[in-house]
Each structure stands twice: as structure tokens, then as C-alpha cells.
Amino acid sequence: MLKPSIDAYLALRRAVGFRLKTEELLLHAFARWASERGDTHVRTQTATEWAATARSLWQRERRLRAVAAFARHARAEDPRHEVPPILVFARRHVRPRPHIYSPEELRRLLDAATRLPAIWSLRPQVFTTLFGLLASSGLRVSEALALRFGDVTSDGLVVRKTKFNKSRLVPLHSSAASALDRYLQLRQRTSTVSDYVFISPKGGRLPLPTVSKTFDQLRRRAGLRSGPGKAGPRIHDLRHTFAVRALEACAQGESPVGWRMRALSTYLGHRSVADTCWYLHATPQLMRGVADACERFLEGGAR
């Protein structure tokens, strides 16, 4: 009874661009759990008991959120579904504070990548180019790893149907384009059947766990830390840094901030400007730009 309703719910949401891979696994697991207990509709007690079998508070909350989202949808047609509360386990999702890399920190990170032991072909070049591209383009790491030869054009990178099922063209700065071109000249000499830009030791697509493990090694070698008791800088913080630096570079321009935010939102592949705001954080240069803009606004006689 639950599984057909869950499949219909997933199909509907995927039709508007959501992928829901994790949600599908969770909801199908919940459906099996509920079915074994004779439930044909979502019940708060059953959902809570199922969520409680997860190991961590984060996993328990994730389970309840998935079931609650489905239950809200299903309840619109059948009020017998109960919507479980999502904070039963007293954990609220807190976004980690991003680390905004300084130019010196990025240089140290890339220098560490160039010194990686070449235990497989192109290893130093792969990671130097990959992390340099993330820092200079703001790509999601999944988008960079999915790039193929045909996605690299003279106009920029073609990013195909990633998050929210969107595709876009990402222009590159001339320095980034040159660095990528030098890497591609080496990459194309590698005899592999794969056409992925960033390849693994076996010649296929470079897997994310390998990237994450290597990044942590490089971060430690470069001495990049966030302070006592805090997690170290993340790969995703390269995207945050790009967004902040892009807006900093525009602070003294004449175009309205709204135009720049919309352009940045499109460049990053966000659905709306509101999504882009999560990537923007106060830096001294950005705050000076805001203060100067406010002063010009007031001097213009605005009320």
C-alpha cells in the first residue's frame, strides 16, 4: 500500500527536476519496515521507531524528514496518513560556517598538489587542475568530475543536467582556460577508453571518495585549519570562496547589486538568487564595498 504511493510521489517530484536518490532508498526502507508491522499508512509511532534504528542523530533526523515530506504529500489525498515531527531527536540542522580561502592559502593548496607522488599517471596534474578549476570557476565538485572532452569548448565548460536537472555554460577566465588546456594536452596522450576529463588510476571517471581523501591530505600538508575544535576547510568551501570573491570584485562597479547577484546565481547554477545568498559571507573588502555604496546612496539625497 505504501510503496505504490511512494513511487508516485517520487515520480512526481522527479518530473520537476529533483533526483531524490537518497530519499528513494530511505522511503523504500521505511515502506518495508511499516509493511512488516501491518501499516498501510504513515504512522508517527512507526516512523519514529524506524528512524531511531539509525546510528546517529543526523541519520535519524534525515529519515524523519524524508518520511514527513512524503506524508505531507500523501495526506492531501488521504488524511489517514500522519505527519511525524522532524525534531523528535532534538537535533537542528546547522549549516557549517564556510572557510573563505585567501589567495595565499589557495597557492599553498595547489603547490601541495603539484608535489603529490606520481603513484599513477597524471596524479599531480589531475588534482592540481581539478582544485584549481574548482577555485576559479565555482563548479560543484560533482560537476567537475562529470566533465567529458566534449564539454570543454572555446566558449567555456558545458555543465550538463546536474543539480535540479539544469544545464548551463560556464565561461572561464583566460588563465583558468589556459591551465585546463595544458592539462588536456597531457590527458589526451593517456591511452584510456574513457573520455572523462579527470580520470582515476584505472583510467575511468575519478571517484569522489578519492578526491575527498586526497583533498584532506593536501589540506593538512598545506597547513590549512579552521581553528581549535572546528572541522578543517572543505572542498565545497572553494565554491563559497568563488562566490564571495566574485562579488568583491564587483563592489566598485556601477551596475546595481541585483544585476550582479542574478548573474552570479546563473553562473553557479542556482534556481534562485535566494539559493546564492547562502554562499555569501561578510569579508572586510565586501563590507567596505557595502559601506561605500550606502554612503553614495545617502549622498545622492535618498530618503
User: Is residue 189 annotated as part of the catalytic site, yes or no?
Assistant: no
User: Is residue 21 annotated as part of the catalytic site, yes or no?
Assistant: no
Catalytic option among 13, 65, 236, 281: 236
Catalytic option among 13, 75, 163, 205: 163
Which residue in 263, 257, 262, 264 sits closest to 296, CA to CA?
257
Distance CA 292, CA 201 (A): 51
DSSP structure class, residue 108: H
Long-range contacts of 280-288 (CB under 8 A, 24+ apart): 280/243, 280/244, 280/247, 281/97, 281/98, 281/100, 281/240, 281/244, 283/100, 283/244, 283/248, 285/248, 285/251, 286/244, 286/247, 286/248, 286/251, 288/251
User: Is residue 279 annotated as part of the catalytic site, yes or no?
Assistant: yes
Q: What is the dihedral of CA 97, 91, 65, 17, to 10 degrees?
A: 0
User: Is residue 270 annotated as part of the catalytic site, yes or no?
Assistant: yes
Which residue in 74, 71, 70, 48 sits closest to 61, CA to CA?
48
Catalytic option among 239, 240, 245, 267: 239
User: Is residue 140 annotated as part of the catalytic site, yes or no?
Assistant: yes
Catalytic option among 62, 63, 245, 270: 270
Catalytic option among 140, 187, 219, 245: 140
Q: Which residues are catalytic?
A: 140, 163, 236, 239, 270, 279
